Protein backbone atom coordinates (compact mmCIF):
# COMPACT_ATOMS: atom_id res chain seq x y z
CA UNK A 1 0.00 0.00 0.00
CA UNK A 2 1.19 3.50 -0.81
CA UNK A 3 0.30 6.83 0.76
CA UNK A 4 0.59 10.17 -0.95
CA UNK A 5 -0.26 13.38 0.91
CA UNK A 6 -1.82 16.04 -1.32
CA UNK A 7 -2.66 18.58 1.36
CA UNK A 8 -2.03 18.59 5.10
CA UNK A 9 -3.32 21.48 7.16
CA UNK A 10 -4.08 21.71 10.84
CA UNK A 11 -7.72 20.70 10.45
CA UNK A 12 -7.93 19.44 6.88
CA UNK A 13 -6.09 16.76 4.95
CA UNK A 14 -6.31 15.30 1.48
CA UNK A 15 -4.38 12.15 0.62
CA UNK A 16 -4.32 9.17 -1.72
CA UNK A 17 -3.94 5.59 -0.61
CA UNK A 18 -3.23 3.21 -3.45
CA UNK A 19 -2.66 -0.52 -4.04
CA UNK A 20 -5.40 -1.35 -1.55
CA UNK A 21 -9.06 -2.47 -1.45
CA UNK A 22 -12.37 -0.64 -0.93
CA UNK A 23 -12.80 -2.64 2.30
CA UNK A 24 -9.63 -1.16 3.77
CA UNK A 25 -10.47 2.38 2.66
CA UNK A 26 -13.89 2.06 4.26
CA UNK A 27 -12.41 0.63 7.46
CA UNK A 28 -10.22 3.73 7.81
CA UNK A 29 -13.22 6.00 7.14
CA UNK A 30 -15.44 4.26 9.67
CA UNK A 31 -12.66 4.19 12.22
CA UNK A 32 -12.22 7.97 11.95
CA UNK A 33 -15.96 8.46 12.42
CA UNK A 34 -16.77 5.98 15.11
CA UNK A 35 -13.69 4.59 16.86
CA UNK A 36 -11.38 7.45 17.82
CA UNK A 37 -12.46 8.72 21.26
CA UNK A 38 -13.11 12.42 21.73
CA UNK A 39 -14.04 14.74 24.60
CA UNK A 40 -17.59 16.13 24.66
CA UNK A 41 -19.86 17.55 27.32
CA UNK A 42 -22.04 14.76 28.61
CA UNK A 43 -23.61 16.07 31.80
CA UNK A 44 -24.83 19.57 32.69
CA UNK A 45 -25.99 20.83 36.10
CA UNK A 46 -28.09 23.96 35.59
CA UNK A 47 -28.44 26.16 38.70
CA UNK A 48 -30.10 29.13 37.08
CA UNK A 49 -31.54 29.55 33.61
CA UNK A 50 -33.89 32.45 32.95
CA UNK A 51 -33.03 32.56 29.25
CA UNK A 52 -35.58 31.80 26.52
CA UNK A 53 -34.16 28.32 26.00
CA UNK A 54 -35.11 25.08 27.76
CA UNK A 55 -32.44 23.44 29.94
CA UNK A 56 -32.41 20.33 27.72
CA UNK A 57 -31.86 22.33 24.53
CA UNK A 58 -29.04 24.26 26.17
CA UNK A 59 -27.37 21.03 27.34
CA UNK A 60 -27.70 19.60 23.84
CA UNK A 61 -26.03 22.68 22.33
CA UNK A 62 -23.16 22.47 24.79
CA UNK A 63 -22.66 18.79 24.00
CA UNK A 64 -22.02 19.67 20.38
CA UNK A 65 -19.19 22.14 21.12
CA UNK A 66 -15.91 20.55 19.89
CA UNK A 67 -13.37 20.26 22.69
CA UNK A 68 -9.62 19.94 22.22
CA UNK A 69 -8.73 16.41 23.21
CA UNK A 70 -5.44 15.01 24.48
CA UNK A 71 -5.76 11.25 24.51
CA UNK A 72 -2.48 10.89 26.42
CA UNK A 73 -4.01 12.64 29.43
CA UNK A 74 -7.47 11.15 29.66
CA UNK A 75 -8.95 7.69 29.48
CA UNK A 76 -12.42 6.38 28.74
CA UNK A 77 -14.59 6.39 31.83
CA UNK A 78 -15.32 2.66 31.58
CA UNK A 79 -11.58 1.91 31.47
CA UNK A 80 -10.71 4.27 34.35
CA UNK A 81 -9.71 3.14 37.86
CA UNK A 82 -12.69 5.08 39.27
CA UNK A 83 -14.93 2.44 37.64
CA UNK A 84 -17.10 5.01 35.90
CA UNK A 85 -17.74 7.30 38.87
CA UNK A 86 -15.78 10.17 37.31
CA UNK A 87 -12.37 11.51 38.39
CA UNK A 88 -9.66 13.90 37.19
CA UNK A 89 -8.28 11.22 34.86
CA UNK A 90 -11.51 10.69 32.95
CA UNK A 91 -13.46 13.94 33.04
CA UNK A 92 -13.15 17.73 32.83
CA UNK A 93 -15.47 20.22 34.51
CA UNK A 94 -16.56 23.58 33.09
CA UNK A 95 -18.33 26.39 34.86
CA UNK A 96 -20.34 29.05 33.12
CA UNK A 97 -21.89 32.10 34.66
CA UNK A 98 -23.34 34.97 32.63
CA UNK A 99 -25.88 37.74 32.96
CA UNK A 100 -27.53 39.61 30.10
CA UNK A 101 -27.53 41.57 27.98
CA UNK A 102 -24.79 39.57 26.25
CA UNK A 103 -24.02 36.76 23.86
CA UNK A 104 -22.63 33.73 25.70
CA UNK A 105 -19.76 32.15 23.77
CA UNK A 106 -17.76 28.96 24.17
CA UNK A 107 -14.88 31.07 25.53
CA UNK A 108 -17.00 31.92 28.59
CA UNK A 109 -16.78 28.30 29.78
CA UNK A 110 -14.09 28.12 32.47
CA UNK A 111 -12.32 24.77 32.33
CA UNK A 112 -10.72 22.78 35.17
CA UNK A 113 -7.96 21.89 32.71
CA UNK A 114 -6.56 24.84 30.73
CA UNK A 115 -5.58 22.56 27.81
CA UNK A 116 -8.95 20.85 27.40
CA UNK A 117 -10.96 23.82 26.19
CA UNK A 118 -13.39 24.43 23.29
CA UNK A 119 -11.60 24.12 19.93
CA UNK A 120 -12.96 27.52 18.88
CA UNK A 121 -13.62 30.27 21.37
CA UNK A 122 -16.24 32.12 19.31
CA UNK A 123 -19.01 29.51 19.16
CA UNK A 124 -22.26 31.22 20.26
CA UNK A 125 -24.21 29.27 22.90
CA UNK A 126 -27.12 31.61 23.65
CA UNK A 127 -28.06 35.27 23.62
CA UNK A 128 -29.16 36.65 26.99
CA UNK A 129 -31.44 39.69 27.13
CA UNK A 130 -31.46 42.30 29.85
CA UNK A 131 -31.73 40.65 33.30
CA UNK A 132 -31.60 37.06 32.02
CA UNK A 133 -29.16 34.78 33.84
CA UNK A 134 -27.36 31.53 33.20
CA UNK A 135 -25.34 29.62 35.80
CA UNK A 136 -24.24 26.04 35.21
CA UNK A 137 -21.49 23.46 35.48
CA UNK A 138 -20.83 20.96 32.72
CA UNK A 139 -18.84 17.73 32.69
CA UNK A 140 -17.05 16.46 29.59
CA UNK A 141 -15.79 12.91 29.12
CA UNK A 142 -14.32 10.78 26.39
CA UNK A 143 -16.66 8.84 24.16
CA UNK A 144 -16.81 7.27 20.72
CA UNK A 145 -18.75 8.34 17.64
CA UNK A 146 -20.64 5.05 17.58
CA UNK A 147 -22.17 6.00 20.92
CA UNK A 148 -23.31 9.53 20.01
CA UNK A 149 -22.61 11.90 17.10
CA UNK A 150 -21.19 14.53 19.48
CA UNK A 151 -18.19 12.25 19.97
CA UNK A 152 -17.36 12.24 16.23
CA UNK A 153 -14.03 14.06 15.83
CA UNK A 154 -14.45 14.56 12.07
CA UNK A 155 -16.94 16.13 9.75
CA UNK A 156 -17.86 13.03 7.73
CA UNK A 157 -14.67 11.98 5.92
CA UNK A 158 -15.14 10.98 2.30
CA UNK A 159 -13.25 9.13 -0.36
CA UNK A 160 -13.57 8.41 -4.05
CA UNK A 161 -11.78 6.25 -6.57
CA UNK A 162 -8.85 7.97 -8.25
CA UNK A 163 -10.14 9.09 -11.70
CA UNK A 164 -8.17 8.10 -14.79
CA UNK A 165 -8.61 10.47 -17.75
CA UNK A 166 -7.04 9.54 -21.10
CA UNK A 167 -6.90 11.29 -24.47
CA UNK A 168 -6.13 9.10 -27.48
CA UNK A 169 -4.77 9.81 -30.99
CA UNK A 170 -8.18 10.71 -32.43
CA UNK A 171 -8.00 14.11 -30.69
CA UNK A 172 -7.89 17.05 -33.12
CA UNK A 173 -7.31 19.63 -30.32
CA UNK A 174 -10.68 21.34 -30.87
CA UNK A 175 -10.47 22.45 -27.19
CA UNK A 176 -14.20 21.86 -26.63
CA UNK A 177 -13.43 19.68 -23.62
CA UNK A 178 -11.24 22.39 -22.08
CA UNK A 179 -14.15 24.84 -22.28
CA UNK A 180 -16.81 22.39 -21.08
CA UNK A 181 -15.00 20.85 -18.10
CA UNK A 182 -16.13 22.72 -14.95
CA UNK A 183 -13.25 21.39 -12.85
CA UNK A 184 -10.26 22.38 -14.97
CA UNK A 185 -9.14 18.81 -15.74
CA UNK A 186 -7.86 19.67 -19.24
CA UNK A 187 -5.38 22.29 -20.40
CA UNK A 188 -3.79 23.39 -23.67
CA UNK A 189 -0.06 22.85 -23.98
CA UNK A 190 1.66 24.04 -27.19
CA UNK A 191 -1.63 23.89 -29.11
CA UNK A 192 -2.42 20.35 -27.93
CA UNK A 193 -5.09 19.36 -25.41
CA UNK A 194 -3.55 17.56 -22.43
CA UNK A 195 -4.85 16.13 -19.15
CA UNK A 196 -3.64 18.63 -16.60
CA UNK A 197 -5.42 17.84 -13.36
CA UNK A 198 -7.06 14.37 -13.45
CA UNK A 199 -7.63 14.24 -9.66
CA UNK A 200 -10.13 17.10 -9.98
CA UNK A 201 -12.39 15.01 -12.26
CA UNK A 202 -15.87 14.40 -10.82
CA UNK A 203 -16.90 12.00 -13.62
CA UNK A 204 -19.61 14.40 -14.84
CA UNK A 205 -18.85 13.27 -18.43
CA UNK A 206 -19.41 16.74 -19.93
CA UNK A 207 -16.11 16.27 -21.77
CA UNK A 208 -17.39 13.05 -23.35
CA UNK A 209 -20.45 14.92 -24.65
CA UNK A 210 -18.29 17.78 -25.94
CA UNK A 211 -15.92 15.50 -27.85
CA UNK A 212 -17.43 14.48 -31.23
CA UNK A 213 -14.49 12.21 -32.04
CA UNK A 214 -14.68 9.99 -28.96
CA UNK A 215 -11.09 10.81 -28.11
CA UNK A 216 -11.55 10.91 -24.33
CA UNK A 217 -11.79 7.90 -22.07
CA UNK A 218 -12.85 8.16 -18.44
CA UNK A 219 -12.32 5.37 -15.95
CA UNK A 220 -11.28 4.87 -12.34
CA UNK A 221 -8.40 3.15 -10.63
CA UNK A 222 -10.31 0.79 -8.32
CA UNK A 223 -7.35 0.18 -6.06
CA UNK A 224 -6.64 3.83 -5.23
CA UNK A 225 -8.70 6.27 -3.16
CA UNK A 226 -8.60 10.01 -2.62
CA UNK A 227 -9.55 10.83 0.96
CA UNK A 228 -10.73 14.20 2.21
CA UNK A 229 -10.76 14.57 5.99
CA UNK A 230 -11.74 17.59 8.04
CA UNK A 231 -11.67 17.59 11.83
CA UNK A 232 -13.84 19.71 14.11
CA UNK A 233 -10.74 21.01 15.92
CA UNK A 234 -10.66 18.40 18.67
CA UNK A 235 -7.60 16.83 17.00
CA UNK A 236 -5.19 17.80 14.25
CA UNK A 237 -5.90 16.13 10.90
CA UNK A 238 -2.67 14.18 11.16
CA UNK A 239 -3.53 12.80 14.60
CA UNK A 240 -6.99 11.66 13.59
CA UNK A 241 -5.63 9.74 10.58
CA UNK A 242 -2.88 8.02 12.59
CA UNK A 243 -5.26 7.18 15.43
CA UNK A 244 -7.77 5.70 12.97
CA UNK A 245 -5.04 3.55 11.41
CA UNK A 246 -3.91 2.44 14.90
CA UNK A 247 -7.46 1.45 15.74
CA UNK A 248 -7.78 -0.68 12.56
CA UNK A 249 -4.42 -2.31 13.34
CA UNK A 250 -5.45 -3.07 16.93
CA UNK A 251 -8.70 -4.66 15.76
CA UNK A 252 -6.88 -6.81 13.21
CA UNK A 253 -4.40 -7.91 15.90
CA UNK A 254 -7.30 -8.77 18.21
CA UNK A 255 -8.93 -10.90 15.52
CA UNK A 256 -5.61 -12.62 14.89
CA UNK A 257 -5.28 -13.48 18.56
CA UNK A 258 -8.75 -15.02 18.63
CA UNK A 259 -8.05 -17.06 15.49
CA UNK A 260 -4.75 -18.33 16.84
CA UNK A 261 -6.35 -19.51 20.07
CA UNK A 262 -8.34 -22.20 18.21
ZN1 LIG B 1 -12.02 8.12 36.38
pLDDT tens-place string over residues 187-224: 888 888 889 888 989 899 998 888 888 889 999 999 99
Strand segments, DSSP code E, in 50-176 are: 91-99, 102-105, 110-111, 124-128, 133-143, 154-167
Q: Would you state the pLDDT for residue 171? A: 86
Where in the chain are all domains bearing CATH 2.170.120.12?
Answer: 38-147
User: Which band of pLDDT confidence, cut at 50, 70 and 90, is reported for residue 15?
Assistant: very high
**Ligand 1 center to residue 20 CA distance, Å?**
40
210 vs 35: CA distance, rounded Å? 45
Whose CA is closest to 44, among 54, 35, 32?
Answer: 54
**Ligand 1 center to residue 67 CA distance, Å?**
18
Q: What would the pLDDT profile of 119-178 be if each residue is shown by its tens digit?
A: 999 999 999 999 999 999 999 999 999 999 999 999 888 999 999 999 988 888 888 888
Where in the chain are all domains bearing CATH 3.30.1360.10?
Answer: 2-34+156-227
Q: Would you state the pLDDT for residue 105? A: 95
Fold entry, domain 2-34+156-227: Gyrase A; domain 2 (3.30.1360)
Q: Would you state the pLDDT for residue 169? A: 87
**Ligand 1 center to residue 60 CA distance, Å?**
23
Domain formed by 38-147, architecture: Beta Complex (2.170)
Amino acid sequence: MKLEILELGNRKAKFIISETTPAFANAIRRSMLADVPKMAIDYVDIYDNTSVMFDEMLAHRMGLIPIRTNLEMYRLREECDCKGEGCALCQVTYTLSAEGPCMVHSRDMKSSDPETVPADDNIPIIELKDGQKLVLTAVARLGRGKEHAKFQPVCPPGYKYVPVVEINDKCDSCKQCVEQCPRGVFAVDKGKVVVDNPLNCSMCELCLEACDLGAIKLSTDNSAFIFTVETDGSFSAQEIITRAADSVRAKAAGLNEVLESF
